[in-house]
Amino acid sequence: MTHSTHTVSAPAKWLLVLLGVLLALAGLGLGAGGVMLISRGGSWYYLLMGLALLASGIQIARGRPSGAAIYAVAFTLTVIWAFWEAGMDFWALHARIFAFLCAFFVVMLLHPLTLKRAGRAPMAGANLGVAGLALLAILGMGWGMFQPHGRHFTDAATGRVAVTDATRQVNWDHYGADANSDRFAALDQINRDTVKDLRVAWTFRTGDIPLSPGGGGSEDQGTPLQIGDSLYFCTPHNTVISIDATTGTERWRHAFPTQTRTWVRCRGLAYFDASRPLARPDLPGSTPVTPVSVAPGAACERRVFMNTIDAVLVALDADTGALCADFGSNGTVDLKAGLGASEAPLYSLTSPPAVAGTTVVVGGRVADNVALNMPGGVMRGFDVVTGAMRWAFDPGRPDDRSAPQDGSVYTRSTPNVWAPMTYDPASNTVFMPVGNAAIDLWGVDRTPEDERYGASILALDATTGDEKWVYQTVHHDLWDFDVPMQPTLIDFPTEDGKSVPALTIGTKAGQIFVLDRLTGQPLTRVEEQPVKPATIPDERYAPTQPVSVGMPSIGAPHLTEADMWGATPFDQLMCRVIFRGYRYEGLFTAPDTDYSLSFPGSLGGMNWGGMSYDPTSQTLFVNDMRLGLWVHMEKQDSTAAGSNGSEAVNAGMGAVPLKGTPYSVIKDRFLSPLGIPCQEPPFGSLTAIDMKTRKVNWEVPLGTVQDTVLFGVKMHAPIPVGMPTIGGSLATQGGLIFFAATQDYYLRAFDSATGDLVWKARMPVGSQGTPISYVSPQDGRQYIVISAGGARQSPDRGDYLIAYALPKS
């Protein structure tokens, strides 16, 4: 039996026409993009799906039932294609299926109207049943958007060793917790069972709210020290504050106003107590520590050190905050001495000094990619009491320990140490993470010494400054793959059941190296793998690069077109088109005058937050970020003026000149048209690695988009895609990992055995700091303390130190 073709109302007819037009327009967009993608050697799927949507839309607008049939077939093939290309990866499937699933629901919901309009039986039950199944799938995928989708492998054996009186941590008196720099608290009052009861114990406001327009201003990235019943903290603008560790009340403060307005931050402090017995080196070949003395009870018997952003080393009395008159010039040492032209922000210090026995050791940050003629990256050691310089290690004159004489300066533009260092008392050695020469992207003029020390770990004798060994992680670095973090000292388990004193460190390239502390030789397998050169004239490209294949690579997969992602099929398509338009040859894709992709980019991978390590279970915890950068070099006049050295991502500024070179550079994040990273989530993760097996135990995404701003609007949706991370983690013997330095405003605790989220607390603003933990000698409670001054890429800023503890008994 046939029916009239005019049995639907005019509004229903126009609703079907609208649906058809929208599908046809979507088809035209996908088809046009699909042609672009095919022209670049990419997938044919988007052109074919675009044609199907176009045909489906036209037929639905015309009132033809075949339109829904075409869509249903195209959608079914899309699902098959999605699983074929993406496997069971939720976020990859979501990008490929979800939008088309929503459209399928609408098509099937309205299909009875199309049938009526065509004069056929509407078959409402069957069509609405299919629409209902589609709606259930939509709800399921919507629910899945709010669930973490990290990969889980096996449990780590953490939290199984009880803290004893002999092993209990007393102080957090180093930037990285103790001399091992392992960010591990040997405390278990707060554990997997009790963490649910953690509450804010006190909040302290420093009065220093950092502002960071474009990412190049001031930021709070601080980690406090705790000694006894006192906390010591430096604000971004170099105010040192002493705080009661139990009540959060201020004891003293000392401000050091800075004139620098670019890259302003203070990551931490150093501490020395002259009344403590000195640790004596006991490993073969170690030099003795030079003895010093301060009269018992005299001023500055206990002292706190800070590097200012204006390149001054200051020593303060830990009890009063007064400058130590016996140190340098009334408590200060000018670190610009011998550098030549070093006006801020070309040379500054953002990381804490290292107290190495009785020598306080400093590096320095030289602004990247400003000019060839920049201050040198000299590392220096000063007497911890008098401030007299004991030695200088100039990477351009590595055999000379003296300061420059007769108006000369330290070698210009040498590799520098901007990240925190680690001191090993057992061997009297300072381990330094070394960056690169002044220009990262163009290395034609680098010296043999630049090539030797760039992107390396350098071991120096703390007493003499003499080199013990150097190990390079990148050859002829053209990517800004500095060694960015403080080395962590571990006893590395060997296959025979013994252990070797070792250090482990992560890189911006997503590599983890494990080195023998005495020799600098790798304890896990490292391969020299061939890499391709680019075409910059006279550039001495390295033919191979070291890849740490004996340890897991974190956040640095080799990207393919199938790894491209998007919130909708359209921006995923555009990410595929963009990706196919870049030159990309893997981890070490060299920059050139074309458009190349660096993944991970110069932010990492891993960065200055470092790693935490649980020695009771021999488990290493690593956080990372996954943000690629595209890079384009342009020919320029070599007399062009340099930039201001802010190191903010610079696409909005046009080509930034590399002063003194034939090139300027444009670089920016690898993002979709919606401003979302083009590769699929996670964009930041926390990973646990068993150091006995060198295998990943678990990996979870870190952070949500809740406080991320997109197109000027905060998203508010706690979708755990995993966000870029910049600070560090805290491991505890109670079987927990605390972390805050992501884009949303939470301090989180994870079960360190499984990666399960077991607790979180909302903070007033986000954090880029590293949590610390201690037990108060006054009330016996374990505290977790974190600084919160604002997360990068989120709009809100603050000046908070927040302490959490269990309720009082």
Tens digit of each residue's pLDDT (9 = 90 or more) over 799-808: 999 999 999 9
The one catalytic residue among 477, 480, 482, 592 = 480
Whole-number percent of the chain with pLDDT over 70:
96
Whole-number percent of the chain with pLDDT over 90:
84
Quick one: pLDDT band at residue 214, thresholds 50, 70, 90? low
| Separation CA 547–CA 211 (nearest Å) | 38
Residue 572 DSSP class: H
Q: Are 754 and 687 in contact (CB under 8 A)?
A: no
* Burial state string for 372-407 with b = 16 or more CB within 10 A and e = fewer than 16: bebbbbbbbbbbbbebebbbbbbbbbbeebebbeee
* Any domain includes 56: yes
Residue 400 DSSP class: -
- pLDDT at 655 (0 to 100): 72
* Any domain includes 32: yes
Name the least confident of 38-52, 143-157, 165-179, 501-515.
143-157
Quick one: pLDDT band at residue 2, thresholds 50, 70, 90? very low
Strands (E), 575-655: 595-598, 612-614, 619-625, 629-635
| Separation CA 351–CA 175 (nearest Å) | 9
Q: Are 686 and 729 in contact (CB under 8 A)?
A: yes
Q: Are 29 and 40 in contact (CB under 8 A)?
A: no
Region 210-223: what's the mean pLDDT? 82
- pLDDT at 646 (0 to 100): 63
* Burial state string for 145-162 with b = 16 or more CB within 10 A and e = fewer than 16: beebbbeeeeebbbbebe
| Separation CA 427–CA 429 (nearest Å) | 5
Provide the token pair at 23.
């599908």
* Any domain includes 126: yes
* Burial state string for 612-628 with b = 16 or more CB within 10 A and e = fewer than 16: bbbbbbbbbbbbbbbbb
Question: Residue 654 pLDDT > 80, yes or no?
Answer: no
- pLDDT at 7 (0 to 100): 80
Region 678-706: what's the mean pLDDT? 95
Tens digit of each residue's pLDDT (9 = 90 or more) over 358-397: 999 999 999 888 889 999 999 999 999 999 999 999 999 9
Residue linked to tokens 């001031």: 218
Quick one: pLDDT band at residue 767, thresholds 50, 70, 90? very high
| 726 vs 192 pLDDT, higher one | 192
- pLDDT at 690 (0 to 100): 96
| 380 vs 666 pLDDT, higher one | 380
Domain that holds residue 77: 10-144
**Beta bridge mates, 623:** 686
* Any domain includes 75: yes
Question: Residue 780 pLDDT > 60, yes or no?
Answer: yes
Question: Residue 111 pLDDT > 90, yes or no?
Answer: yes
Asked if the peptide bond before residue 642 counts as cis, ω within 30 degrees of 0, the response is no
Name the least confident of 42-56, 254-268, 474-488, 691-705.
254-268
Q: Are 248 and 204 in contact (CB under 8 A)?
A: yes
Q: Which residues contact 637 (CB under 8 A, 6 or more apart)?
A: none
**Beta bridge mates, 430:** 423, 460
* Any domain includes 2: no
* Any domain includes 101: yes
Q: Are 481 and 454 in contact (CB under 8 A)?
A: no
How many helices (H) and strands (E) are present in the chain, helices listed first? 7, 42
193 classed as catalytic: no
Neighbours of 673 (CB within 10 A): 13
* Any domain includes 108: yes
| Separation CA 658–CA 569 (nearest Å) | 38
* Any domain includes 41: yes
Domain count for the chain, please give it: 1
